[in-house]
Amino acid sequence: MNVAQVLSTQARKQGTRAAIIFEGQVCTYADFDAAVERRASALHGLGIGRGDRVAYQVPKSLEALFLHFAIQSLGAITLPLNPDYRPEELEYFLRDSGSCLFIADRRLFAPVRAQVLEIPGLQTLLTGEGADPDAGSWAEALAAAVLPFERTYAAAGDDTAMFCYTSGTTGRSKGAMITHRNLLANAEALHQMWAWTESDRLLHVLPLFHVHGLNVAALGCLYAGATMIMHEKFDPKRAWTALGAERCTLMMGVPTVYQRLMNEWETLADRPDLAAMRLFISGSAPLSDTQFRRFEQLTGWRILERYGMTETGMIASNRLEPGGRKEKSVGYPLPGVAIRTVGSDGEAVPAGEVGEVWVRGDNVFSGYWGLEEKTRESFVAGWFRTGDLGWCDPADGDRLYLVGRAKELIISGGFNVYPKEVENVLEALPEVREVAVIGLPDDDFGERVVAVVVAKEGAGTVSDEALMRQCRDRLAGYKCPRQVHFVDELPRNAMGKLQKNLLVERYR
Ligand code: MLC
Ligand code: AMP
């Protein structure tokens, strides 16, 4: 089955029930399906078909979801892009993916125009009003749609449905190929685990260009025939109001979202009526035991934590009944997902000991686009190596606890930052000899990005402002260091290996 068939099937069943209420604008299942049909016809008219990569960079909007499902309904591959990407980042994704069509928000396009228009074989269409001498108009393409249009659903099963770029240890992002089977298997597993029904109403405050907001929250909702109350931007005060006033039953967030909700709760004059609420779900980064307990003390609700990854979709979840939700544990493998914890010798560690988490199942992606060797290294006998470290409690049905990461990764507010990518940008400055980028504990973001810099002798002084500017020009905002420390030398062991742990100790 093609994942976009979920929408057409639900449209037949749900008809005029609301699929999405985006900032107060109601989009019924029938409207959603009709919008996707129109876009599918327009894309077909532009020559888009099975296996073509279509990238889009638009703010969080109904259009983002319409495009996503329209692209998939033709058997093409969707590539949603963060509106905050800087020109160099964007150019890399468009070139690496070999995208043939790029649909861009007109306001976001101006700073990336020169780079994008130079990419061979890429057609660019801009949303919104106005004309650009070198890029086409998405509105004009839409006006040329011929309706009714029979969607081909020309890809299914192990065909790639979407690319999701995840950063890599070398600093270059890798395009994870996520298949129709992956998306559908995960939606079904979450449907069972969280007992979704069409009566559910989900408050959606997350970005639509990542697995969490797109595949877990939005697809999960459509799969159940439920309704999304969607905010363009997360604002804790508005979120509490909506949870009560919209009679929401479900909420999904990263720990930073919950941290901000708790801070807001303490200042609220009128507490929302949460009588309809069923589940607060957290993921994408570790929820601390303090956060878990504080949320329950304040609101009476116990957060359900789950664990996932771009390459694998969702892996594990705590249980639905409040007694089955435990702090610091990400729960049990989802239906159809197998987990092993493995030592450095490649053998399963004894139960209760820490090992690397390996995952197998229909949820696991097919590989990294154009990187056969990297893909081979990431799998062992069909098991995907997550790079996360954890242990399973044999006395509690193999409940999984994550304790750290074997991979060098900073998770800031649920966004992944690979230190190497930031180091590469800073080391390109002539005044910089070397840099170590580390993650330090942060009350709001969980971890914050910090750069420790050794300046080059005789190259003049370098200010932290110059370093920050270099980052802001070339990296999305969440990757930019919040602090810079200057040192004479970086700590290394006898083998010359950089000891970032000592830097973390010194600056935490
Ligand atoms: C925004 N900023 C961040 C940041 N988010 N800085 C560090 N870390 C972050 N996560 C910066 C911006 O660049 C900007 O900087 C300033 O903060 C204000 O921007 P904003 O847009 O107003 O941010 P805000 O609304 O405060 O965003 C916070 C947030 C957001 C928590 C709502 O980060 C967010 O939506 N995070 C969720 C990410 C997510 O969905 N991850 C899922 C990945 S999938 P300046 O300098 O310009 O002022 C995955 C798999 C799984 O991990 O298991 O789910
Ligand atoms: P991403 O590549 O953005 O999909 O991020 C995936 C990574 O986020 C995982 O490999 C984990 O390190 C981390 N992660 C996701 N959910 C959790 C969680 N509940 N607790 C701890 N880490 C998590």
Q: Do 160 and 179 form a contact (C-beta atoms < 8 A)?
A: yes
What tens digit of pLDDT does each residue of 133-175 get? 999 999 999 999 999 999 999 999 999 999 999 977 777 899 9
Rounded CA-CA distance 204/202 in Å is 6
Angle, vertex CA 60, rays to CA 59 and CA 65, nearest 5: 115
Of the chain, the end-to-end C-alpha distance in Å amounts to 49
Q: What is the pLDDT of residue 4?
A: 98
Q: What is the pLDDT of residue 9?
A: 98
Q: Do 171 and 424 form a contact (C-beta atoms < 8 A)?
A: yes
Domains 31-144 and 410-507 share a fold: no
Q: What is the pLDDT of residue 293?
A: 98
Q: How many CB atoms lie within 10 A of CB 230?
A: 27
Rounded CA-CA distance 221/130 in Å is 35
Position in ligand 2 atom list of the atom nearest CA 405: 12
Q: What is the pLDDT of residue 38?
A: 98
CA of 261, nearest ligand number? 1
Q: Do 156 and 180 form a contact (C-beta atoms < 8 A)?
A: yes
Tell whether ligand 1 has an atom less than 6 A from the beta carbon of residue 10: no
Nearest to 453 by CA among 473, 475, 468, 474: 468
What tens digit of pLDDT does each residue of 202-243 get? 999 999 999 999 999 999 999 999 999 999 999 999 999 999
Position in ligand 2 atom list of the atom nearest CA 311: 4
Rounded CA-CA distance 252/180 in Å is 23
Q: What is the pLDDT of residue 155?
A: 98
Q: Do 446 and 438 form a contact (C-beta atoms < 8 A)?
A: no
Residue list, ligand 2 pocket, CB within 6 Å: 166, 211, 283-286, 305, 307-310, 330, 386, 388, 402, 405, 411, 416
Q: What is the pLDDT of residue 463?
A: 87
Pocket test for ligand 1, best of 478, 480, 483, 484 (most atoms within 8 A of CB): 478
Token reading at 477: 């905002």
Instruction: Take atom 48 of ligand 1 and give the residue whose Cα is closest.
Output: 477
CA of 311, nearest ligand number? 2
Nearest to 256 by CA among 411, 110, 377, 134: 411
Is the domain covering 31-144 a CATH 3.40.50.1220 domain? no
Phi, psi of 216 (to 5 degrees): -85, -55
Tell me if the bond preceding 148 is cis, omega within 30° of 0.
Answer: yes
CA of 205, nearest ligand number? 1
Residue with tokens 């239906």: 335
**What is the dotted CATH code of the domain comprising 410-507?**
3.30.300.30
Domain parsing of the chain, residue ranges:
31-144, 410-507
Regions of the chain where pLDDT drops below 70: 459-460
Token reading at 499: 């000891």
